[in-house]
Amino acid sequence: SQQGEEDPQALSIQEGENATMNCSYKTSINNLQWYRQNSGRGLVHLILIRSNEREKHSGRLRVTLDTSKKSSSLLITASRAADTASYFCATDAGGTSYGKLTFGQGTILTVHP
């Protein structure tokens, strides 16, 4: 079963607006990562947040992690047309799943100029 599930599946916004994507997972994790994929290309790592962290920033990106709710959110502020892509969360559960990485199904973000 999918460890990470993103919500919404698709998001359409205007340039300059903020975009928020959510990820829920089922089991405890070591860390959670967010990746971006442009139209069938390889994924690009955006940010990693560890299970003992609650919030992390990188440029226009803000990630939060709530381990009690088993959820994370990715906020992109002041979006640009170039942010149009699919965004995936990925969880590293550790333990007996040491080395495994499980991706969600992704959120398709469209930013209109």
Partner 1 sequence: EAQVTQNPRYLITVTGKKLTVTCSQNMNHEYMSWYRQDPGLGLRQIYYSMNVEVTDKGDVPEGYKVSRKEKRNFPLILESPSPNQTSLYFCASSFGGLPETQYFGPGTRLLVL
Q: How far apart are CA 91 and CA 63, in angstroms?
A: 14
12, two tokens: 């359409």
Q: Which is nearer to partner 1, 105 or 110 (CB)?
A: 105
Q: How far apart are CA 104 and CA 14, in angstroms?
A: 25
Q: Quick check: 34 and 87 in contact, CB under 8 A?
A: yes
Nearest approach, Cβ of residue 105 and partner 1 (Å): 4
Considering only the stretches 12-20, 32-40, 62-70, 71-79, report the one whose residues sit in contact with partner 1 under the rule CB under 8 A.
32-40
Q: How far apart are CA 54 and CA 49, in angstroms?
A: 8
Does residue number 33 form part of the binding site for partner 1 (CB under 8 A)? yes
Contact flags string 88-107 toward partner 1, x per CB under 8 A: x-x-x------xxxxxxxx-
Angle at 8 between CA 16 and CA 76, to 5 degrees: 30
Q: How far apart are CA 61 and CA 76, in angstroms?
A: 5
Q: Which is nearer to partner 1, 33 or 84 (CB)?
A: 33
Taking CB under 8 A as the criterion, which residues in 48-77 touch partner 1? 48
Does residue number 32 form part of the binding site for partner 1 (CB under 8 A)? no
Q: Which residues bind partner 1 (CB under 8 A)?
A: 2, 31, 33, 35, 40-45, 48, 88, 90, 92, 99-106
